[in-house]
Amino acid sequence: MTILLGGAGFPQLRPFESADEAGVLELLAVDRLPGQPACSTRMLADAVTGRSATDPAGRAALEGPVVTTVLCAPGGGIAGVVCCAGRPSDGQPLLLWLHCREDFSTAQALIAQALQCCATGPMHAFTLACALTRGLVGLPERHRRVTVEALRAAGFTSWGRCRYLRAELPVAGLPHLAGVQLNDTTAPPGKRLEVRRRGRVLARACLERPIDDGVGLIRSVTVAPHARGQGLGLSLLGNALDVLTGLGAREAIVYLDELPADPERDPVAALRTYVASDFTEVDRLLTFTRTPAQR
């Protein structure tokens, strides 16, 4: 489909209105990934106003209004939607989320609209967790291939990579550890498992409780550098998955950063541990930046 803007009978860009809710929810349903919640009207309302239960700190860092724009199809309905905002730390604009039924021309039109938010300086895309997902940061590389291509054609480059993994529960046959300390966490609600020896933490796992869709989130499984190579990570993951199953989870998901900020984290070893625990890759998540030199 070729998008032509501006004339009668052609697609029109305009601000999101409450009457667009059903059409936008339909777009979101098309792009929903396995392990992610079905988008509700409440989640959409949070997304268009910049609220997010999964990343309140990131959303608090937004500057100015959150602007959501829809592209109306010529025959009626919503062809695409894009949401943008700014951040006060450096004044740089953010493309928060975009959905377009994976039509290249629609994606181009929405990206061009987003770029009008920034006269100078870089623009970043898909760098915050969205209220439409369960803490997911980034654009799925394979499921959203057309949008990825449209961003690159507009001068964006990808710089962050994360593996999105998923497993059905329960998982049988995993090793377990005895004497694991289990505590509640409140922000977010969940559980923390710790392996301690002589007062020192050797390994830790942090979990988020499953929500209505029965999906639990593994926020992290870490092993102290001096305790690695003993199978603690795999065994503690076995305990963690049992805890999620006991909380009612039917699936577990994890976002595994391929470029961790902590140099002591080994994403290759972590991936081996998850694969050995029946996790499979749903997709790779990309974040993007467009600098003035690329315009």
Residue 2 lies inside a defined structural domain of this protein? no
Assess contact for 215 and 253: CB atoms under 8 A.
Answer: yes
Report d(CA 38, CA 46) in Å as an integer.
14
User: Bridge-partner residues for 161, per DSSP?
Assistant: 286
Q: How confident is the model at residue 38 (pLDDT cuts 50, 70, 90)?
A: very high
Residue 74 lies inside a defined structural domain of this protein? yes
DSSP 224: -
Residue 6 lies inside a defined structural domain of this protein? no
Map residue 29 onto helix, strand or coil. helix
* pLDDT tens-digit readout, 4-23: 455 444 569 999 999 999 99
Q: Which residue is associated with the tokens 């050995």? A: 276
Rg over alpha carbons for the chain, rounded to the nearest Å, is 21
Domain of residue 203, residue span: 172-277
Residue 3 confidence (pLDDT): 45
Same domain for 108 and 91: yes
* Lookup: tokens for 254: 């994890």
Name 123's Cβ contacts closer than 8 Å, sequence gap at least 6: 92, 93, 94, 95, 114, 115, 117, 156, 289, 290
Report d(CA 171, CA 95) in Å as an integer.
38
Same domain for 40 and 182: no
Same domain for 205 and 80: no
CATH number (domain holding residue 106): 3.40.630.30
* pLDDT tens-digit readout, 125-170: 999 998 999 999 999 999 999 999 999 999 999 988 999 999 999 9
DSSP 37: P
Report d(CA 222, CA 239) in Å as an integer.
13
Same domain for 183 and 144: no
Name 143's Cβ contacts closer than 8 Å, sequence gap at least 6: 31, 33, 283
Residue 221 confidence (pLDDT): 95
